Amino acid sequence: MEMLFRYNWQVRQEWFDWCESLSQQELLQQRTGGVGSILYTLYHIIDVEYSWINDLRDQNSLLTDFADYQTVERLRALSSQLHVEVGAYVKAWTPEQETKILHNVRKDGSTEQLTYGEVMRHVIAHEIHHVGQLSVWAREVGREPVSANLIRRGLQR
Amino acid sequence: MEMLFRYNWQVRQEWFDWCESLSQQELLQQRTGGVGSILYTLYHIIDVEYSWINDLRDQNSLLTDFADYQTVERLRALSSQLHVEVGAYVKAWTPEQETKILHNVRKDGSTEQLTYGEVMRHVIAHEIHHVGQLSVWAREVGREPVSANLIRRGLQR
């Protein structure tokens, strides 16, 4: 489980680096598909990961607003700040938590039962999916995207 | 491990269904980013999954050519055919295989050592990443993409 999170965190840092060569206008430009702009996608990834992990930890999430994080520098800092809690939770994960039940309140007020195991994998897949979208937009602006390979990253331990 | 594979296989079937409402021209049109067209992306996902699993099984892969699979129907059949072996391998996976070493021969002839665990996750991430690209192209052709959610798919067992 942890390896896929570490993959996402490493790839995310590389996308932050990648973003530094783009103008603010390119980073915030509304694009087709996904959640809109490149920077908003990265914000959304950070926000969704943190929110789900806090649901699993039974903690309230610090409320953030994208308006406060519209530069690569601020987003990177937000990611690092929230990673203290997220990283600790993922590191402490044990297989016994797999089948634990989360009573999740949906936007319409209804409640659903999810297993902790599926929520963790949902978070993993969520980030990889949105990064796939970034890779298309990268080509649209004429740049080579960050590699999506999981192998050859020293993640094998 | 298995849950993320089952997620990919379920999402893949939904993309096949989704493709059926598009014209052949739209499915084969070269697009920006990724590996090109929508159909070639699905072929590539199937091919890469099968090739890596066969490397892990120490089996040679049946050689296929995209030229023979340029319809949704043929691709779906290829996916089902190869899934017999892929699915059996994933189902039989045990945590003891995690650290087993694959001596992988790269395109340049050099050899690298990969763990079986990282190859399995590489395959998982590979499909999710390319599906993220499909989701952008879906919006480009004015269609709603297949949901990328892992929750609410009955995968929690």
Residue A61: the pLDDT is: 84
Q: Which residues of B touch A (CB under 8 A)?
A: 3-4, 7, 31-34, 112, 114-115, 117-119, 121-122, 124-126, 128-133, 135-140, 145, 148-152, 155-156
Quick one: which H or E segment has residue A112?
A: strand A111-115
Three-state DSSP class for residue A144: coil
State chain A's mean pLDDT as an integer: 96
What is the average pLDDT across B129-138? Answer: 98
d(CA A126, CA A110): 22
Question: Is the pLDDT reported for residue B57 higher than 80?
Answer: yes
On the 0-12 / 13-18 / 19+ scale of CB atoms within 10 A, B151 is: buried
Cβ pair A133:B129 closer than 8 A: no
pTM score of the predicted model? 0.97
Cβ pair A138:B34 closer than 8 A: no
**Are A51 and A61 spatial neighbours (Cβ–Cβ below 8 Å)?**
yes
What is the average pLDDT across B101-119? Answer: 96
What is the average pLDDT across B103-126? Answer: 96
A147 domain-assigned: no
B124 domain-assigned: yes
Cβ pair A136:B32 closer than 8 A: yes
Predicted-complex ipTM score:
0.97
Percentage of chain A beyond pLDDT 70 is 99
B96 Cα to chain A: minimum distance (Å): 13
Three-state DSSP class for residue A19: helix
Question: Is the pLDDT reported for residue B71 higher than 80?
Answer: yes
Answer with the residue of higher pLDDT: A107 or B113: B113
Residue B39: the pLDDT is: 98
Question: Is the pLDDT reported for residue B81 higher than 90?
Answer: yes
Range of the domain at A21: 2-140
Which of B125, B132, B156 is facing A7, going by the closest CB pair? B125
CATH number of the domain residue B126 falls in: 1.20.120.450
Q: What DSSP designation does B33 have?
A: S
Q: How many helices (H) and strands (E) does chain A have?
A: 5, 2
Q: Which residues of A touch B (CB under 8 A)?
A: 3-4, 7, 31-34, 112, 114-115, 117-119, 121-122, 124-126, 128-133, 135-140, 145, 148-152, 155-156
Quick one: which H or E segment has residue A78?
A: helix A72-91
**Are A129 and B131 spatial neighbours (Cβ–Cβ below 8 Å)?**
yes
What would the pLDDT profile of A85-133 be if each residue is shown by its tens digit?
999 999 999 999 999 999 999 989 999 999 999 999 999 999 999 999 9
What is the average pLDDT across B51-67? Answer: 93
What is the average pLDDT across A23-43? Answer: 97
A83 domain-assigned: yes
d(CA B63, CA B69): 12
A103 annotated ligand binder: no
Answer with the residue of higher pLDDT: B62 or B30: B30
Query: Can you say whether residue B154 is alpha, beta or left, with left for phi > 0 and alpha for psi between -120 and 50 degrees?
Result: left
d(CA A112, CA B50): 35
Amino acid type, B122: H
A4 Cα to chain B: minimum distance (Å): 7
A120 domain-assigned: yes
Confidence of residue B108 (pLDDT cuts 50, 70, 90): very high
B133 domain-assigned: yes
Q: Crossing angle, helix A2-19 and helix A38-57, to 10 degrees?
A: 150
B150 domain-assigned: no
Percentage of chain A beyond pLDDT 90 is 95
Residue A156: the pLDDT is: 81
Q: What DSSP designation does A6 have?
A: H
Exposure string of A9-47, with b = 16+ CB inside 10 Å and e = fewer, is bebbeebbebbeebeeebbebebbbbeebbbbbbbbbbb
Residue A37: the pLDDT is: 98
What is the average pLDDT across B18-32? Answer: 97
Question: Is the pLDDT reported for residue A51 higher than 90?
Answer: yes
Question: Is the pLDDT reported for residue B97 higher than 90?
Answer: yes
Confidence of residue B61 (pLDDT cuts 50, 70, 90): confident
Residue A157: the pLDDT is: 63
Which pair of structure tokens corresponds to residue B146?
Answer: 């297949």
Q: Residue B150: its chain A contacts at CB < 8 A?
A: 118, 121-122, 125-126
Lowest-confidence range among A104-108, A134-138, B43-47, B137-141?
A104-108
Confidence of residue B85 (pLDDT cuts 50, 70, 90): very high
A86 domain-assigned: yes
Which of B121, B131, B148 is facing A4, going by the closest CB pair? B121
B69 domain-assigned: yes
Three-state DSSP class for residue B71: coil
Cβ pair A4:B124 closer than 8 A: yes
Number of domains in chain B: 1
Question: Is the pLDDT reported for residue A134 higher than 70?
Answer: yes
